[in-house]
Every structure is written in C-alpha cells, then in structure tokens.
Amino acid sequence: MATALRDPIGFELFKNTLLSIADEMALTILRTAYSGVLKDNMDYSTAFCDGAGRTVTQGLTLPAHLSSFPDALAATIGRFADRMHPGDVYCLNDPFEGGMHIPDVFVLKPIFHEGKRLAFAATICHQTDMGGRVAGSNASDSTEIYQEGLRIPPVKMYDRGEPNETLFRLIEKNVRLPVRVFGDLRAQLAACHIAEAAFLRLVARQGAKRVKVYMEEILDYTERLTRAALRQLPDGEWSFEDWIDDDGVDYGKPIRLFVTLRKTGDRLVADWTGTSPQVKGAINNTLSFTKAATFTCLKSVLSHDVLCNAGFYRPIEVIAPPGTIANGVLPAASAARGLTGFRMLDTCFGALARMLPERTIASSEGGNTGVSIGGYYPDRRPFIFVEFICSAWGGRAWADGLDGNANMFANMSLPPVEITEAEQPLEILCTEFLQDVGGPGKHRGGASIRRDYRLLEEEAVLQVRADRNVFRPWGLFGGGPGRPSLNVLNPGREDRVLPGKFTMIMKRGDVFRHDQPGPGGWGDPLERAPDRVLRDVRNELVSLRSARDDYGVVIDSRTWTVDGTATAALRAELRARRGWQEVPVVSR
C-alpha cells in the first residue's frame, strides 16, 4: 500500500493495465470463437485474478458471471493446492464444485514467475453443447443434474504444457458438436495465453514484488470505495417478494423469491431466506449465481469508480440457505438457472426501490429467453442452434426503459439474422418491436421484441426457457405492469399457445413465435409529457388507444398533433376516477 501511495500515477497505470488485459482476453474470445452463442450472443466472461484466486479485474462482458471466478478458482486451488506447475491449465463446469451450470465451462491458467504462482488468467464460456438429454444441454424440464450433460470437476486440461488426452476424448465422445466445442475451448486457451504474456511483460518491467503489492492495493482500494459508497446510503431494512410462474415441471405452481436488504454503516447484508425450496425443474441457482445477481443490482446504484473485483465483495454478505432455489444442493438441476438469476435481479431492485427510489428501475422483461433448436441433417450430422433473446429494461426514475436492449444482468447481443440463416436450417421470419408491451408510466417500460423461427429441416427438438406469463413485470410508483410473454406454434395457422418452459418436437415448416414480456413502467402515466406520448405513437411503440386510456393523451391522427384541451380534460377525469386512492410503490 505504501508503494501505491508514493506513486499514485504508477498505481493508476498499473490498474488500467490489468483492466486492459481482462478486456483483451474478452476480445480474443470474440475474434476466435467458433459458436454463435459466443461470437454473436457473447455469452462469456474473462477475469484476471491474483495468485490466491481473488478477482482483481474483470473484462467488460457479463455481470451474470460477476462472482463466478472466486468459486471456480477456490475449488481448483482446493483440489490441486501446491501441485500446480508452469504450463498447467485447468477446466471445470460442475455446479457443485466451483461451476455455475453445465454449459458454462471455465478454463483457468495459473501464471508463474521464477517458480512462484503470481496470478491466474480466467475465462468462462457458454458452450453450444455439453451432452445430456437435450441438444444445447440447457433444458428447463430436466429434474436432476445427471440428465444435463457431462459434469467436469476441476481437472487438468494441460499438465506442464501437455494436453490431457483422456479429458479431450471424454469431451469428444459426450458432446454433439465436438469441433465447435473444441474451437471455443481453444478460444479460451488463446485468451489465457495472451493474458499470461501481457502480465509477464508487466512483471519484467515492474518486478514481482511491486506487482503483488499493486494487486493487493487494487482490492483494498476497491473495498475502501465500496464502504465509502455504502456509508452514503440510508441505514435500515427493506424486503421484497416476487414470483416465478413455475419450474417447467410442476406447471402452475408458483415459486417464491424473497430478499431482505439490511444496511448498517459501511456493510450490507442481502438475505434470501424465505425464498422457495429448490424445485424439480432446472432453474435452481448455485450460490455464486445468487451472489452475482445481488452484486449486479447493488453495483448499479453505487459509483462507477467502484471496480468489479474481490474488494467489492468484502463489505457485502449474501445469505442463501442450502436446499433453496437460491442455493441448490445435489441432485438439483440447474441448466436453466439463468431465469432465476434474472428474476433475482428484479427482486433485489424491488427492495432497493424502498431504500433508494430515486436510483431504481422497474421490473425488467424478466430476463432473456433461451431458445435451443437441435436435430440432424439427412446424413445424420447434428445441428444445434442456441440463442438468448434479449429485450428491454424497465422504466427508470430518470428515464424510459431501454428499447430492444440486453438485460442488465447479461450484456449480450442478439445474433444477426443473416448469420443464423447461413449457419442453421432455420428462417427468421421477423424480429420486431411489440406495440403497447412496456408498462405505461411517467417513464414507460422499454419495447420488447417478437421473434419468429421457421424450421427448414425434417425434424428438430425445440427447447424454450421463458417466464412472466402469469406474474407480469411490475411497475414502480404508479407505473403499470408490462404485458405477459407469449409462446405460439404456427401463428395464423394453428395458433397453438405453448407454456413458458417446454421441450417439444418441431416438424419441417413449423413456425415458433416468442413474444418477450414487457418491462414495467415507472411513475404515474398521467404525468408523462404529451409530446413524448405522441412521439411513441408515431413510432408505433404505443397505440392511439393506449395513449388515450393509459396516458390520458388525445391525439388527432390526421394531423398528428396533441389536442391540449381534450388531454387536460381527460387527465382530470382519469384522476377523479382514481379518487383518493394512493399510488402504490409496486404495480402488478
């Protein structure tokens, strides 16, 4: 610490160098990955960690992986301890030994200098397939971990530079697309090698002793910033409850999420006691994923100067009793646990709305929707399409929700239609905004999207992970709830409504349609500026009917102008109907 204080400029340059290493790792994966779920959806993360496995810097990738690296490295170090050597590389995906869910594979490389371990380069990537009963390995209706695919505890991928042929053979024989999986694993290896080379250059310039001091100071500095930011927040206790429609196995059985935030001085406890016991379906969280959702929510209301590393975690305690959906134990299935993580972020924001109303956001669309379509060509070659449909944000205390934007918890992009159609036997018939989908409000919920998929091959297995069909995304402080989600097979022809989570067979020519739910609105819709309502109507995000009924704005569609007199009268009438009823904090 003294070294850093004597040379604050050198410390700042060092900190940004490590940040750039983590970002360069992320760019390496983006440029070299084989699968669309990485190079297009960007479902991966990178981190640079110290020799003890503590995250020092994290690449600009997924907040959902925010706290995954410490658990993965702790499990690996716990198993191998002093048996690590230069040239070793480790991998794992076991949710019960450092992992998150089976499709997410960690590749971890210890970095040595003069025989001593100084750091780790760490990556996590969502693989297209890791085996199991359903192509893509992420079915929401699996009922135990053993159905979900190849489970890898912390093992050596390379031993002093030599590949573990046994591991590679096991992976090859258990996944449907080994070429794609091995290509993505090589992208992770490349990222780790680049990080190692960059870090060793830094060590050569500054010396190992200074580098270790600076890495420790980055963590201490982040902790000081976090505690200072927490001290500025009010002390107290706030709770919130939300519900998942069901787990995809016990249809119609709601699943409770419940969190209590306790803030005292420079510490905060997020307690998930009261959340549902773990469920049959594959939406059970690991503790690390529950932590990630909690940390992401809290980080979003603190200063941007606070880094995402182990120093940030120190003043924040996350409690999640084992055996609950927030902390599953064997044999809990977890392949579709992303849904629960997204909803935990919303739940945490619900509690924060009572603590910090001026900094909060209404419910998101419920998180991205997972769609997997897998089958075989006539020559028995497999194809697997994995996509996560990103949508929109809830209305914010200071602005509308973002339209067609990735959920805050997963900074992902939607794959281009042209790439999907070139690589898969699919036709994307539409990707479009839905009208009147976001909850009305002074700041409306963002516009979610519709996506239609037509199968061009003979047959395929369609697997979907969605929610918010029964329990709609909630609004805040008078904002309305968003529209529910909708799954339909063959719209306009069969119009067969499907549940939120399912696995089924598609035939050639079948069309699957998914409408994302709409995020909630923030604030009284009658306080929204009429010209902003007019703009939304002209952009076809809000209908003339909603403008009138929800916002009390009368628009002349011939001249596309607001009738100010009629609008004032209508809003007065709507307020009179409301009478003395108070605007609720949460609108469901």
Picking from 472, 467, 499, the residue whose alpha carbon sits closest to that of residue 483 is 472
Secondary structure (3-state) at 338: helix
pLDDT at position 137 is 94
6 — pLDDT class (breaks 50, 70, 90): confident
Picking from 69, 28, 29, 14, the residue whose alpha carbon sits closest to that of residue 47 is 69
Q: What is the pLDDT of residues 408-452, one digit of tens each?
A: 898 888 888 999 999 999 999 999 999 999 999 999 999 999 999
How many angstroms separate the CA atoms of 289 and 285, rounded?
6
pTM, 2 dp: 0.94
pLDDT at position 346 is 96
Check pLDDT > 90 for residue 320. yes
Share of the chain above pLDDT 90, in %: 90
Q: Are 457 and 508 in contact (CB under 8 A)?
A: yes
Check pLDDT > 70 for residue 1. no
Crossing angle of helices 178-206 and 208-231, in 10° steps, is 100
pLDDT at position 586 is 87
* Beta pairing partners, 333: none
Helix and strand numbers, DSSP H then E, in the chain: 14, 24
Q: What is the pLDDT of residues 533-574, one digit of tens each?
A: 999 999 999 999 999 999 999 999 999 999 999 999 999 999
Burial 544-558 (b: 16+ CB within 10 A, else e): eebbbebbbbbbeee
Mean pLDDT within 33-59: 94
Check pLDDT > 80 for residue 500. yes
* Beta pairing partners, 433: 449
Query: DSSP characters for 524-583?
Result: -GGGS-HHHHHHHHHTTSS-HHHHHHTT---EETTTTEE-HHHHHHHHHHHHHHHTTPPP
Average pLDDT of the chain is 95
Check pLDDT > 80 for residue 308. yes
